[in-house]
Structure 1
């Protein structure tokens, strides 16, 4: 079994192309170069006209399949996923690893693999927990239900060390928990594109550019950032804020910016496909989230030598320990955020080379994929040993 080449089915129900989606894309691609096969199974989001995760994976030539789904619970989704699991078995009967990346995928994968429970070697189930969003009663209920289901999985992967204790308190044996950090395909600074974007947005050459790159939803706490930035902008005429991303709070945040008289100081750019230009134009990335796992935007900014100001949540403090110019603030502390913005404006512009070096050494997509391949092999070898006994 030493040369075992696992086949992993990555299952994701996506609401757009956000951090976890980009992790899945990077993993699906990198596994093929790390001793495994991988196929991305995207569950159709019936509320959306476009399926960005599947479309981008297909455009990039990745092995990708769109699973049908026409409602909250759809039996055709279960059947299609079960068929994929069955088809992925090799001639000797070795099952694929079913690797899920959200609570909906976990639900469908659990039921689909129970259909194969009669098999001599049922498919191992792995879930990666990219972070919990619990901003409402419904979301807190989903989290509790997800944890109850995940106790039945063969392995749970956390991207932030602080998640381990919570899983243990929920009854998950620590022996089933693995900590695997997110990995990225390194963005490369693009000076010419950044210059063109600066001209397009009419940003002065000597302006200090802050950027918030996030899903525009409550847990990202961007309303606090707008209020803190408004205080700073009143005193600092050359401060500019870019808000990159989309989400349910976009209209509310735009209205808040207007009420704070920030119309010419804040640019809402929506979803972008030129992130190297955004990072190159940025003097400081700002992420005032109330909850995170290991955010890709922090890794990408660090890879592009951009200093980071972020809440001390998830694995952000551990990441910024390796940065020369990173700064954390207590989550939800508006005064600390305003002070951090002021300090950034008062300091000379700089690039964070130490941050770049750390990300390139520890958080590449291939390093992440190698850790997952080791986990897949371990699970399959245990299956093989139990079958042989």
Structure 2
């Protein structure tokens, strides 16, 4: 079987790109030939004998909207030229004007554009207006692409609900396969805090995310932290041009919040912390939560995170309202004062992650792919 994957990136350092990478590696392991139509491809796949890479170089023009349109048109033409040699065409959302067999959906523009957390609803300026127009147009193109595919794979039940209620896609056409995690890269280990000038006896929470976006909700974390003693916060993300360093000072948290900057060695940073906190306001899945759990960190997240579907009550704390400062403060206060519960949650978090490694996810994708070539009716997976 020759599978053609159409996506912008296939590489380990990217969320959607990592999923594509792992699925392609599993397809190769099972003896499939692979064609990749993308702008970026991991170097090890570039040199693989069973991989054909059709590279689309998109010119550096002003907006992402125009660049993606160029990719969509060019990729469709590339597929048309090679359609006789392709057994299965796998795409991500609206990415090409070609008709696909499988569409793997990580984000639903039809839902995001309606969200109360969309930047245009919080602040109206040229930048957020562009984002609104971009998302609105993509919502229209997304529906067209999804109606022209045979089957859809959603990364969470949350994404499936968004597809059904906002993109108006019939539920029987949708399978749910949760993303995975590298449990060998992310694992519990001892870290030397003194190398980072951190107190060996202090409780540290960890936050990782875009510091120029309010969606990740670091402001609520700061306000909750200001109500709880004996806990510090490590922050991963680029603080340049971010408002959060100033907010930390205003709340009197200057000595308790440690901005570590953007890091590629996040697997080595996670063991510095005692717990992971990520009460995002809108998150279709979030790999970083599973990575924290694989590292043996108890997690505090919001119900808005798609990964919450995987978590047991004993292994994580899920807050219903991401903006509820008091609830978040109460959870932090209880965990800081209960180290035995933290230890128990850490063990359960690692166990949850081990059940959701990349191999488990990739095998489920391949089951869908195999069914698609042997049957007109694809199975509907209800769990990761």
Shared fold (TM-score, shorter chain, > 0.5): yes
Asked if the contact 2:210–2:216 (Cα under 8 Å) also holds between the matched residues in 1, the reply is yes
Asked if the contact 2:4–2:86 (Cα under 8 Å) also holds between the matched residues in 1, the reply is no
Residue 178 of structure 1 corresponds to 175
Q: Residue 99 of structure 1 is aligned with which of 91, 99, 103?
A: 91
Q: Residue 344 of structure 1 is aligned with which of 335, 338, 344?
A: 335
Count of residue pairs the alignment pairs up: 341
How far is the alpha carbon of 1:332 from its aligned partner? 1.6
Asked if the contact 1:41–1:66 (Cα under 8 Å) also holds between the matched residues in 2, the reply is yes
**1:220 counterpart SS class:** coil
Residue 46 of structure 1 corresponds to none
**2:87 counterpart SS class:** coil
Find out whether 1:326 has 2:316 as its counterpart: yes
Q: TM-score, normalised by structure 2?
A: 0.77
Residue 237 of structure 2 corresponds to 245
Cα displacement string for residues 302-335 of structure 1 (whole angstroms, at most 9, x for unaligned residues): 21221111111243433221x6341111222111
Find out whether 1:58 has 2:56 as its counterpart: no
Consecutive unaligned residues in structure 2, runs of 5 or more: 121-131, 378-384
Aligned mates of 2:163, 2:205 — CA distance in 1: 35
Asked if the contact 1:212–1:243 (Cα under 8 Å) also holds between the matched residues in 2, the reply is yes
Deviates more, 1:135-144 or 1:308-317: 135-144
Residue 128 of structure 1 corresponds to 105
Residue 197 of structure 2 corresponds to 202
Q: TM-score, normalised by structure 1?
A: 0.76
Aligned mates of 1:7, 1:218 — CA distance in 2: 39
Q: Residue 286 of structure 2 is aligned with which of 280, 286, 295?
A: 295
Residue 56 of structure 2 corresponds to 67
- Going from structure 1 to structure 2, the CA distance change for 1:30 and 1:69 (only over 3 Å counts) comes to same
Asked if the contact 1:298–1:308 (Cα under 8 Å) also holds between the matched residues in 2, the reply is yes
C-alpha root-mean-square deviation of aligned residues, in Å?
A: 3.2
Consecutive unaligned residues in structure 1, runs of 5 or more: 44-53, 115-122, 385-389
Aligned mates of 1:338, 1:226 — CA distance in 2: 10
**2:200 counterpart SS class:** coil
Find out whether 1:81 has 2:75 as its counterpart: yes
How far is the alpha carbon of 1:9 from its aligned partner? 0.9
Aligned mates of 2:70, 2:305 — CA distance in 1: 36
